[in-house]
Structure 1
Amino acid sequence: MSGFTSATAETVQSPVPHIALLLPLDAPGLGSAARTVQQGILAAVQNSALPVRAYSNYDETRSVVAAYKIAVASGAVAVIGPLTRNGIRQLADEKTLPVPTLALNIIDTPAPPQLYFFGLAIEAEARQIALLAKKQGKQQAIIVTANDPLARRLQFAFEAEWTASGGAILREIEYTGDTMVFADIAADPSTMAFFATDIEKSRTIRPYLPNNLAAYATSQLFSGNKDTLLNFDFDGIRFVDMPWLMQTDLPVVAAFPRAYPPLTTDQERLYALGIDAWRLINNLIANRAKQALDGVTGQIHLNGQTFTRTALPSLFYQGHAQAADAPLIQSAQLFPDQFKNASSVEAPVTFKP
């Protein structure tokens, strides 16, 4: 069994071989996310020969390298972290790193050997959606966006991949609160709409687009299957997300325990990130970095020094989000007073997509 201890950034502990977690567990604004990632990592630790030790008393804006050196001096044979792009850049500026290091975010700058990247960059989902829509025969795209940083990042990521794959951009529509900008949109079999907007704006916009217009989005539109009303509003929209949320009976997913008390959907994603981070760092230690991983966050492959994640194609159907290739489940109608009596409600019917 593995052990788990904590260390401060001011103290070099007696050298003991271990896997170090470089996570800002107590940092304002970052601590909650870091603790959830740590929770996922520890859920994945099974019969490890190496103990796990957390290093958390450091500043991600300026003292990552100092904390990293303390971890290595204390016997770390591998490191998971840091969590933020700013923290990762500090390590990337080093000429060499002595042990395999898995940063939990992705940056584009050159990195020293032994520094690897893995994260849940939502821009990668936008690029995957572009390729998915093209594969499904769409030729031109309507991009629905907004004047905020995340929407712009998703818009640009989608458009770059879409045009590179030969797709045409029919329109870019910036939503500012006036739904009349969607009044003249018509459905066409070769056209798709991509939502770069957040969940609230997308929910407002969706009724103003033709029902038979193919619509796509990222995982930011999915907040869990408990929110049936919201999911009904997104009926028919295709998106990508992780098997951890969409295929809970999959053997690789069922192999790991769920958090208790239950987490929010966004926290579940971070928890799953921790699970796959643990599996990847062990592959790095064993010199199996190039081995593809059937992850709980998706299919993972090494590309250069970045572990790229292919998320699971999914869709909203009758108030429920599910894997796109799963049988479609027709749920009972939402409002029971639509039925004359309770006996008229039939059991769910399974359809083949």
Structure 2
Amino acid sequence: MSVFGCATPTPTAPKTVTPAPVSQPAVQTPPAAPVTASPAAQPPVVTGVVPAPAPLAATPLPAIGTEPAAPHIALLLPLNSPVFAKAAAAVQQGFLAAAGKELNSLPVRVYPCSDESAEIVALYQKALRAGAVAIAGPLTRNGVAALAATGPVATPTLALNLVDDTRADQLYFFGLPPETEARQAAQRATTAGLLSATVVSTNSPLSKRLAQAFSDEWQREGGILQAGIIYDGDPTPLKDLSQEPGTSVFLAAEPDKARLIRPYINSAIPVYATSQVFSGNTNTLTNYDLADVRFFDMPWLLQPDHPAVMIYPHVVPPMTPDLERLYALGIDAYRLLQVLYQHNPANVLPLDGVTGKISRNGHVFQREGIFAIMRQGLGVPVEGKSRQ
């Protein structure tokens, strides 16, 4: 499973997250330093946007525990996990990239672990003893649940995943759950004046979660939910979908299955999906099969001229879209943690982030993605007032 409980297979056969054990212990990063390399062996070099500065050699830093306690920002990640190391490394790179743009800020110390569910409580206490005044992490859902179960949290802490929990302390949550985009798709289709929807799924665990999230929101918005279709390789039910005005389809599928399904749906029917179907604007030939599919994703992948996107350095060569999204999560996580540490949310939120427009609902930071449509193999942002 992925850090958000979806998108990747079980730990025995991971696809988007592969083993990349990190041998380096926690490090301290000066606030004005350029982006440092990921702890994984031979990571991508991170450079500035325009122009790209020459990469600088990383300076060896003392291991955590050998330096005296001092005020700092702690970043807790499963960098030594055989399953989540690559995802954690992407978040770390984004977090440090944002820290490198912040002048006169506290240094960042990175605290790696292997199994967040078993180690996170001790690691969190270790960071506090070392002087942490603000903490980001853990990353996995199990890790966040373990930390949340320890009781009230007194230090500003931004967990990088979501759990069902009501808090009255200093523990906040921010993540990239795909269900959020499914709900936004339902809201957008309602705004477009569509009256009924058919959910086409593949029966995978992720597909079921997306289908449920869309269906719940669609019915909450007053829409008519038609009988769902589970695609098993037979396109006949797709060809028989109603083309009456006001009908729509929500595609709850992974990219490979979505590309198989879309051509069988009549082009007159509006089709909605999530970022799960979008593999980036570098795969235009592959994306052609997704013609006119509407979906939500983040400015980091859709709007290179977005003001916030232009500020922060990009990894060269680019990572996979899934890892790019986690890199962007790291950038916005650092920015949100600054908001919590400085106790100034009213003057900063909503935040125009690289992952989307971010607001806060209680102790959860909510992200509104960019609405886009597939045109000629490219994901093209749609104007906010459009009724597509």
Check whether TM > 0.5.
yes
1:228 pairs with 2:265 = no
Paired letter, 2:124 = Y
Query: Which moved further from structure 2: 128-137 or 86-95?
Result: 86-95
Identity across the alignment (%) = 46
1:315 pairs with 2:373 = yes
Residue aligned with 1:302, SS: strand
1:176 pairs with 2:239 = no
Provide the TM-score with structure 2 as the length reference: 0.81
CA deviations over 1:224-269 (Å, ceiling 9, x no partner): 1121122211111110000111110111110111112321111110
Quote the Cα distance in structure 1 between the aligned partners of 2:66 and 2:166: 29
Quote the Cα distance in structure 1 between the aligned partners of 2:218 and 2:162: 21
Partner residue, 1:49: 105
Quote the Cα distance in structure 2 between the aligned partners of 1:59 and 1:7: 20
1:24 pairs with 2:82 = no
8 Å CA contact 1:93–1:111 kept in 2: the answer is no
Please point out which of 36, 61, 65 is paired with 2:117.
Answer: 61
Post-superposition, which runs of at least 4 consecutive aligned residues in structure 1 deviate over 6 A?
A: none
8 Å CA contact 1:293–1:300 kept in 2: the answer is yes
Quote the Cα distance in structure 1 between the aligned partners of 2:162 and 2:203: 24
CA deviations over 1:138-197 (Å, ceiling 9, x no partner): 110010012210000000000011000101102200111111222311312201100001
Partner residue, 1:145: 201
| Cα drift, residue 68 of structure 1 | 0.1
Please point out which of 38, 49, 56 is paired with 2:92.
Answer: 38
Quote the Cα distance in structure 2 between the aligned partners of 1:295 and 1:242: 9
Residue aligned with 1:171, SS: coil
Quote the Cα distance in structure 2 between the aligned partners of 1:258 and 1:114: 31
Provide the TM-score with structure 1 as the length reference: 0.88
Partner residue, 1:202: 258
Please point out which of 197, 200, 211 is paired with 2:267.
Answer: 211
Unaligned residue ranges in structure 2 (runs of 5+):
1-29, 37-60
Residue aligned with 1:14, SS: coil
8 Å CA contact 2:79–2:114 kept in 1: the answer is no
8 Å CA contact 1:20–1:76 kept in 2: the answer is yes
Distance of aligned partners of 1:7 and 1:70 in 2 relative to their CA distance in 1, 3 Å threshold = farther
| Cα drift, residue 12 of structure 1 | 7.8
Please point out which of 302, 312, 331 is paired with 2:360.
Answer: 302
8 Å CA contact 1:22–1:82 kept in 2: the answer is yes
How do 1:78-93 and structure 2 match up within 5 A? 78-93=134-149
8 Å CA contact 1:58–1:64 kept in 2: the answer is no
| Cα drift, residue 98 of structure 1 | 2.5
Partner residue, 1:242: 298
Quote the Cα distance in structure 1 between the aligned partners of 2:267 and 2:171: 46
* Root-mean-square deviation (Å): 1.7
| Cα drift, residue 15 of structure 1 | 1.1
Query: Which moved further from structure 2: 95-104 or 80-89?
Result: 95-104
Distance of aligned partners of 1:195 and 1:206 in 2 relative to their CA distance in 1, 3 Å threshold = same
Partner residue, 2:69: 15
Distance of aligned partners of 1:111 and 1:93 in 2 relative to their CA distance in 1, 3 Å threshold = farther
Query: Which moved further from structure 2: 166-175 or 183-192?
Result: 183-192
| Cα drift, residue 112 of structure 1 | 5.4
8 Å CA contact 1:25–1:31 kept in 2: the answer is yes
1:164 pairs with 2:220 = yes
8 Å CA contact 2:239–2:266 kept in 1: the answer is no
1:74 pairs with 2:130 = yes
Partner residue, 1:337: none
Residue aligned with 1:66, SS: helix
| Cα drift, residue 7 of structure 1 | 5.0
Distance of aligned partners of 1:72 and 1:259 in 2 relative to their CA distance in 1, 3 Å threshold = same
Residue aligned with 1:83, SS: coil
1:192 pairs with 2:248 = yes
Quote the Cα distance in structure 2 between the aligned partners of 1:200 and 1:227: 13
Residue aligned with 1:36, SS: helix
Residue aligned with 2:249, SS: strand
Matched residue pairs, number? Answer: 325
8 Å CA contact 1:12–1:71 kept in 2: the answer is no
Partner residue, 2:351: 293
Residue aligned with 2:314, SS: coil
